Amino acid sequence: MHTLIISAAHQEQEELMRTLEEFRQNLDADVHFGTLEDLIRQDLSLVFVATGGTEEQFLRMLDKLPGKIYLLTHPAHNSLAASLEILAYLQEKGRRGEILHGTPEFVGEKLKEIQRLKTAQMKLQGMRLGVFGISDWLIASEVEEERVKEVAGISFIPLSIEELLTEVNKGGYEENIWTEKLIDLGYDGLEMEKALEIYGALKRLMKKHGLTGFSLRCFDLLGPLQSTACLALAILNAEGYPAGCEGDKKSLLSMVVAQALLDESVFMANPSSLDPQKEELVIAHCTLPLDYPKTIQLNTHFESGIGVAVASEFDFEDVTLFKMDSFRSFVAKEGKLLESLYRNDLCRSQMRIHLPGGMDYFLKYPIANHHMVLRGHHAALLKRFLEDIAPEMEMRE
C-alpha cells in the first residue's frame, strides 16, 4: 500500500524525511511512500499530511484522488492541524474522509484494517453468482440486481434446474479430502453416491459458467433425483465456494460479503424459535460447511426424510448473526453459542444462541428468513466494511 506525502516547501526536507521514515517504520504495516499515480493505481487514497501549510497542495490533487480519502498524520510539524482543515473541507464538499492519528502502533492497526477492507472489496468486484431457481415461499428474498452490480460489481446469473439435472445424470465427482471423510463415516452407500454426484455436477457447472458461488432451489431435486443437495453445499462451502439454499439471493449475497471479509466459511440457517425474555434464539439448517463445526453426523434431510443432511456439534462460543439486503440495510448482532441441539423436529444442524438486544429486530424488522451465523464477534468490522462500500447503508437495530 502506498501513501503520498504532501509537505510545505519551507520545511527542512532532510530532517522531515527522517521523521517520516521513522514513523513509517514504526507502523508495522505494509506502507510505502509513493506518487499520485500509485494512489490512483491502487484505488485507495492514503495521503500523508507531513506538515502544516499543505491545504492548497491537497486541493490541487483532490479531483484525482479516488474514493474515500484517508489522511495519515504524525504528532509534529502541524500535521494534525492541517488534516483537520482538509477533512472539514472534504465534508463540506460531500467527499468522504478520515484522519488516522495516534501512536504508530495504533495507526498501523488502522492501516492493516483499511487494507483488509480494500482487499475484501476487490474480491467482490466481478463476482458471478448463479441462481438455480427461486423458491416460491421466499417472497422477501430477492435483491435489486442492478444496484448490487453498481455498488459492488456483483452479478447474478440465472440458471435452470434442468441443466443441473442433466449434469447430475452424467455422473462422477472429484475425489478429495472431504469426499473421503464423508465416505469414511459409513453412511448408506447408495445415498452417499447420489449426494456426491450432485456435488460433482454443481462443481462442473460452476466452472462452466465461471461462478464464484450460487444458490439452489434445492427442493426441486427431491422428485427427479430422490436426493438433496445438502451434502454438496456442505463440501463446496468448505472448499471456499459460497453455496446457499432455496435460491435465496439475499442470503447468498450475505454469504459472499461475509466470506470475502472474514476469509472463512459461513453457516446459513433458519431462525426456528425465540425466547424474548431470555433473549435466546434457536437456529437450524440441514447443511453447513464441513469445516465449520467440531464434529458432524449424517442424517436424512428433515422435511423430506431422504438424501443426506449434516448434523453438527459446535465447539466455539462467540457468534455474530448477520444478514443484508441490496446494500441498503444490514443487521449484525453479536451473541454467545449456548449449546448444540439434537431435536428431531428441526433441520439437522441446530444451535441455541444468547443474543442480547436482538429480539426486537426479529419480531419487528427482520431481513427475511435465513440468517448467517459467523464464528466470532464481527459487528464493528462488518459495519465499517459495508458503510465504506455504501455509506448510506442503515444498520438495523
Q: What are the cell numbers at 210?
A: 465461471
Say if residue 11's pLDDT is above 60.
no
More confident residue, 23 or 339: 339
3-state helix, strand, coil in the chain (%, to 5): 40, 25, 35
- Per-residue pLDDT, averaged over 329-350, amounts to 95
pLDDT (0 to 100) of residue 10: 60
pLDDT mean across residues, the chain: 94
73's CB contacts (< 8 A; 6+ apart) are 48, 49, 79, 80, 83, 99, 100, 101
Give the pLDDT score at 19: 85
pLDDT tens profile 173-218: 999 999 999 999 999 999 999 999 999 999 999 999 999 999 999 8
**Which carries the bigger pLDDT value, residue 15 or residue 392?**
392
What pLDDT, on a 0 to 100 scale, did the predictor assign at position 182?
94
Distance CA 352, CA 282 (A): 4
DSSP string, 303-369: TTS-S-EEEEE----EEEEEEE-SSSEEEEEEEEEEEEE--TTS-SEEEEEE-TT-HHHHHHS--SS
Residues pairing with 32 in the sheet = 2
The model's pLDDT over 86-115, given as tens digits with 9 standing for 90+, comes to: 999 999 999 999 999 999 999 999 999 999
* 232-281 residue pLDDT tens: 999 999 999 999 998 899 999 999 999 999 999 999 999 999 999 999 99
- pLDDT surpassing 90 at residue 73: yes
pTM for the whole thing? 0.93
- Is pLDDT larger for residue 23 or for residue 385? 385
Q: In this structure, are residues 124 and 257 in contact, taking their beta carbons and an 8 Å threshold?
A: yes
Using one digit for the tens of pLDDT, what is the confidence trace for 159-174?
A: 999 999 999 999 999 9
CA distance 335 to 353: 7
Contacts of 148 (CB under 8 A, 6+ apart): 154, 156, 253, 326, 327
Other beta carbons within 10 angstroms of residue 244's beta carbon come to: 28
> How does residue 307 score in pLDDT terms, banded at 50, 70 and 90?
confident
For residue 228, the SS3 value is coil
Q: In the chain, what are the domains?
A: 2-124 (3.40.50.10940), 128-395 (no CATH)
When pLDDT is averaged across residues 300-305 and rounded to a whole number, the result is: 88
Strands (DSSP E) found in 186-234: 213-216
Q: Which amino acid is at 378?
A: H
What DSSP line would sit under 43-86, residue for residue? T-EEEEE-SSS-HHHHHHHGGG--SSEEEE--SSTTHHHHHHHH
**Contact indicator for 69, 96 with CB cutoff of 8 Å:** yes
The dihedral sign for the CA sequence 6, 9, 10, 12: positive
Percentage of the chain modeled with pLDDT above 70 = 99
**Residues contacting residue 78 through CB under 8 Å, at least 6 positions apart:** 51, 52, 53
End-to-end C-alpha distance for the chain, whole angstroms: 35
* Residues near 180 by beta carbon (within 8 Å), at least 6 away in sequence: none
Is the Cβ–Cβ distance between 22 and 65 less than 8 Å?
Answer: no
